[in-house]
Chains A and B, each alone.
Chain A
C-alpha cells in the first residue's frame, strides 16, 4: 500500500515555487508551439512542456526540494515505501499537468480534437510514463542536483529529459505503423508498469539505502 501521507506531501510540494513558475511559463508557451505546422502532432509540444515542468519529479526525485534527501533519510519509513509514494504522486501530477496543457492546446487549435486524437494522446502518455519513471529512478541516484530551480544544471536536466522522452517515445511511434500496434503497445505499457513497480522500485530502494552517505555527501558538495 502506498503511503498516502507522503503522496499528499509530494503533491503539496509540487505547487511550491519554483515549479509553479515553470508550470505557468511553459503552460503559455506550449500551445503557441502547437501552432507551428511542422511539429507533427499538435499535442507534441504540450507533452514536451509537461515533462519539462515535471522533470525534477522524474530525474531529481531525491532532491526536488532542498533538504528533501536528509528528511527522507531520517523518516521512519523504508525507502521502498517512500519511492512508491513519490512515483504515485508523480503519476498523478503528470496526469493533471498533461491534461491541463492538452486542454489549452486543444482550445487554441482551429478545430477541436477528435476523440481518436485524444485517445492516441492517452495511449502515448501511458506508454512513456513508466519507462520515464524507471529511468528517472536511476538518473535521480546517479546525477543528483542539490535542488530544483532555474540554474544551468536544471536547464541541462531539461535537455536530458527531452532526449529521454524522445527515446521512450519510439515504441509508440513503431506501434502506430504496424498491424495490431495498439494491442502491442498496451502489452508493452503493462509490462513497463510491472517492471517499474516490482523490479525497479525495490532495487532502487535497496541501492539508495546502501548509498545514503554517498548520495548525501554528493548533494551537500553540489549545494556549496
Chain B
C-alpha cells in the first residue's frame, strides 16, 4: 500500500513481454518524497522497463503504478509537467540544435520565452553543450546527446526526476556538475529516481537504494542503514562497499570468476 509521502509507488507489478519473458515479476518498491533513490540491478533486471512503466510508455500486466499520487498513465497532463525524464531511448529531435531543442522544451513545460531562453543558456554553459545553432544534435557524440536529454529533463526544475542511466557516456567534469545540480534540486525538494551501473556514484549520491533482480525487489532501504539491512535480511556481516555488496547479493559469490588463460 502506497503511503501518501511516497512520490513513486509500485505494488506487485508484473510485466510480461511477447514470448512469455517476465521482465517484472511482482516488483514492489516505493520512493519517499524528497529522496534520491538509486535503482540498481544487472542488465535485464527490469530497470528500464520500470522506468518506461513510470513514463506511461508501457503498461503493466498486473499490479499498480502510482506517481505523484496518480495512477499511470496520467489522465491529467499537468502531472507530466511535474516530472522530468531521461529514458534509455532518446526522444529529442536531432534536426534541431541543442539551444533550439531546449528552448522548445522549456516553452512546452510552461516557461515564458525569456525564462526558457535564460535557462537554456545556463544549461548549455554548465553542460558544455554547443551554443551554435549550426551544430545539430544529430552530429553530437553519445555523451553530448545524453547531456541534451538531461538538460531537457531539468530545464523546468521538476518535482520528480526519473533518470535512466543519466551519467552514461558523460565526461567526468560534466558528470560532477550534473551530480551537483541534481543534489541542488534534491535540496529544494525534488525527488530523484536514477538507474546507474556506477555503484560508487550511487553510494555517494543517493539517500535511498533499491536493488532489483529478475524483476523483483531484492533489497530496499535508506542508504544510511544499508549495512544494518543486509545484516538483518541476508545475514551478511561485513558488506564492504556497495559494489562488493551488490556483487555478493546478485551473484551469491564474493570473488570474480577468472579466465583459465589469464
Contacts and interface: CB of A to CB of B under 8 A. Distances in A.
Interface of A: 5-6, 9, 12-13, 16-17, 65-68, 70-71, 73-78, 209, 212-214, 216-217, 220
B93 interface: yes
Contacts of A71: 91-93
Nearest to A17: B95
Nearest to A214: B59
B96 A70 contact: no
Contacts, number: 65
B117 interface: no
Most buried by B among A65, A70, A75: A70
B63 interface: no
Contacts of B107: 5
A220 B57 CA distance: 11
B171 interface: no
Contacts of A74: 55, 80, 85, 91
Contacts of A70: 57, 87, 89, 91
Contact of A213 (B56, B80, B89): B56
B73 A209 contact: yes
Nearest to B100: A12
Interface in B56-89: 56-59, 73, 77-78, 80-81, 85, 87, 89
B108 interface: yes
B65 to A, nearest CB: 11
Contact of A76 (B59, B78, B90): B78
Given A74-B85, A212-B73, A9 B80 contact: no
Given A5-B108, A76-B109, A212 B93 contact: no
A75 B58 CA distance: 16
